[in-house]
């Protein structure tokens, strides 16, 4: 069943119909926004590298700590917010429009021109039903309802702000012990610049998590252009401030941290200002907040993120135990392996937003066609990436290192990195499909089961086959993630139970 749906209508995969354009309008800006931050980080690294190698290494450790802790809060919050906002936005659009009397009462408080427009709209009657046409009702309703009311948006912003403050306090108070745990001891020359950078950058944590929570809201209402523009504005500001604060004002790594903080608060303020023009962020009462839903589903995704992170971290740890050469080769292969996921993430976001709306409207035909289209695009994307990596990596690997031993191991890893790209793309898109169906429980428990099998594979295969064994185990890991997505749809269980009765009608 799931394989049939995966290939159903594949001849239309690149068709520029309404669905194709909707996917493109959501996924393309998302992909560009996701790519903007790594590019800005590379430029940051280049500026810091001119201070000195000690400062560069110190900042690298601090950034790794900050990003890892941020990820624990951001991924569950953004994913849950996107689904809930998309559902509520779709339901609001389906609700009954205001009655004629309500619209005329509202119009009576407006100027005479507005009142006359309302009355004219009301007089345009549908000849078949003898009631105002839905098109006219929608136009009249918009006269008094310019903003959407989405309770999850307000809830996500409040939770994002609280999580950001907690993260800032945690990192400021524990910066030194965490750095010691990461191997930067009291005698290391890296300790002072690393602690300075991590402590300063922690003040930007509220802005980072808040801006990501707002991006989740924008994704839910299918507006991914606004986050892209805000991200570009913030990153450009960061790049401009870096040389000014680092070299002109001679603030060193502290200047780099301050530049990043300013850029993040600028992004969050632009996003909040833009959102306030579209969404009413003040719920009538405390009961209208959706804290329970966000925290419950967010906890499930927190467990999933932990399982995913543990598998990848364990693989890196096992590679490190085999020596510095093995670790260097593994790190290069891993970064390439994971970097390509940014492209699939754009499709995953479009799948989540579109499916959440379709499920809320009980439009099962759109559920099927949307899921099929994004999965097909994910598979094709993976195949294209696989081809390019097979073709280019043997030559491009020399850009990362000149060490013959490291290059030899990279050559061993290239087939695994390239061949698993279709699996990677499908696995990430399936995440978006599951989130769009609000299938958070299955996403969590299936990932935990996948992680347990993968952890066992990593230990067994790495001890038997070394570097190759680690990549075989990671290939098994991604295969199991993809299979879990196929299994849920194929068994027609959970949110896909409607396929048992309706699938034949949706062909």
pLDDT in tens, 487-503: 998 888 899 988 877 65
On whether both 272 and 402 belong to a single domain, the answer is: no
Same-domain check for residues 165 and 267: yes
Q: Which of 14-23, 286-295, 325-334, 466-475 has the lowest mean pLDDT?
A: 286-295
My answer on whether 346 and 272 are in the same domain is no
One domain, residues 86 and 170: yes
Q: Are residues 309 and 245 in the same domain?
A: no
- Residues 312-335 have a mean pLDDT of 82
DSSP type of residue 160? H
Asked if pLDDT for residue 133 goes beyond 50, the answer is: no
Question: Per-residue pLDDT for 138 more than 50?
Answer: no
Work out the average pLDDT over 7-23: 82
When pLDDT is averaged across residues 325-342 and rounded to a whole number, the result is 79
pLDDT band at 118 (very low <50, low <70, confident <90, very high): very low
Shared-domain flag, residues 389 and 484: yes
Position 37 in a domain? no
**Of 32-46, 52-66, 170-184, 211-225, highest mean pLDDT:** 211-225
At 465, is the pLDDT very low, low, confident or very high (cuts 50, 70, 90)? very high
Angle between helices 205-220 and 341-360 (to 10 degrees): 50
- Give the best-scoring range by mean pLDDT among 83-97, 116-130, 221-235: 221-235
Q: What is the pLDDT of residues 441-450, one digit of tens each?
A: 999 999 999 9
- In tens, the pLDDT along 149-201 reads 788 898 999 999 999 999 999 999 999 998 888 778 888 888 999 899 999 99
Q: Residue 132: helix, strand or coil by DSSP?
A: strand
**What is the domain extent for residue 172?**
50-92+147-289
Residue 40 belongs to a domain: no
For the entire predicted model, the pTM comes to 0.79
What is the per-residue pLDDT for 98? 52
DSSP SS3 for 149: strand
Q: Which of 492, 490, 500, 475 is nearest to 4 (CA)?
A: 490
- 455 in a structural domain: yes
pLDDT tops 60 at residue 414: yes
Residues 12 and 136 in one domain: no
Q: What is the pLDDT of residue 3?
A: 61
Q: Is 148 helix (H, G, I), strand (E, B) or coil?
A: strand
Interhelix angle for 364-396 vs 341-360, to 10°? 180
Phi-psi region of 422 (alpha: psi -120 to 50; beta: other; left: phi over 0): alpha
Element (H, E) at 106: helix 100-108
Residue 398 resides in a domain: yes
- Assess contact for 10 and 208: CB atoms under 8 A: no
Rounded to an integer, what distance in angstroms lies between the CA atom of residue 264 and that of residue 385? 32
């Amino acid at each position: 069943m799931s394989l049939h749906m995966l290939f159903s209508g594949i001849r239309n995969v690149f068709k520029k119909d309404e669905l194709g354009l909707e996917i493109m309008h959501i996924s393309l800006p998302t992909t560009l926004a996701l790519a903007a931050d790594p590019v800005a980080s590379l430029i940051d690294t280049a500026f810091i590298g001119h201070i000195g190698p000690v400062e560069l290494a110190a900042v690298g450790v601090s950034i790794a700590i900050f990003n890892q802790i941020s990820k624990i809060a951001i991924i569950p919050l953004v994913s849950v917010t996107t689904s809930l906002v998309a559902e509520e936005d779709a339901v609001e659009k389906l609700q009954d429009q205001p009655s004629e009397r309500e619209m005329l009462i509202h119009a009576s408080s407006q100027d005479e021109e507005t009142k006359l427009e309302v009355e004219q709209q009301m007089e345009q009657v549908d000849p078949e039903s003898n009631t105002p046409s839905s098109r006219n009702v929608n136009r009249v309703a918009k006269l008094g309802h310019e903003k959407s009311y989405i309770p999850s948006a307000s809830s996500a912003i409040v939770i994002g702000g609280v999580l950001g403050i907690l993260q800032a306090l945690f990192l400021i108070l524990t910066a030194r012990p965490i750095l010691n745990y990461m191997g930067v001891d009291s005698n290391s020359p890296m300790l002072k610049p690393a602690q300075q950078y991590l402590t300063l950058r922690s003040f930007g944590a509220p802005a980072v998590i808040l801006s990501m929570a707002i991006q989740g809201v924008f994704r839910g209402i299918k507006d991914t252009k606004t986050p892209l523009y805000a991200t570009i504005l913030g990153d450009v500001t960061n790049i401009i401030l870096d040389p000014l604060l680092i070299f002109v004002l001679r603030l060193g790594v502290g200047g780099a941290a301050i530049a990043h903080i300013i850029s993040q608060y600028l992004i969050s303020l632009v996003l909040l200002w833009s959102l306030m023009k579209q969404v009413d962020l003040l719920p009538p009462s405390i009961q209208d907040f959706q804290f329970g839903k966000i925290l419950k589903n967010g906890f499930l995704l927190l467990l999933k993120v932990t399982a995913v992170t543990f598998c990848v971290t364990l693989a890196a740890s096992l590679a490190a135990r085999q020596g510095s050469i093995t670790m260097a080769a593994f790190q290069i292969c891993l970064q390439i392996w994971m970097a390509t996921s940014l492209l699939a993430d754009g499709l995953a976001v479009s799948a989540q937003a579109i499916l959440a709306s379709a499920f809320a409207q009980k439009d099962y035909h759109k559920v099927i066609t949307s899921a099929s289209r994004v999965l097909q695009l994910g598979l094709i994307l993976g195949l294209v990436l696989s081809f390019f990596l097979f073709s280019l990596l043997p030559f491009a690997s020399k850009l990362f290192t000149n060490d013959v031993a490291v290059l030899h191991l990279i050559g061993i890893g290239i087939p695994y990195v390239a061949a698993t790209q279709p699996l990677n793309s499908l696995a990430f898109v399936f995440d978006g499909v599951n989130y769009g169906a609000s299938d958070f429980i299955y996403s969590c428990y299936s990932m935990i089961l996948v992680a347990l099998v993968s952890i066992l594979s990593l230990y067994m295969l790495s001890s038997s086959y070394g570097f190759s064994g680690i990549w075989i185990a990671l290939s098994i890991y991604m295969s199991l993630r993809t299979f879990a997505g196929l299994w849920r749809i194929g068994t027609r269980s959970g949110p896909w139970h409607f396929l048992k009765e309706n699938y034949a009608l949706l062909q």
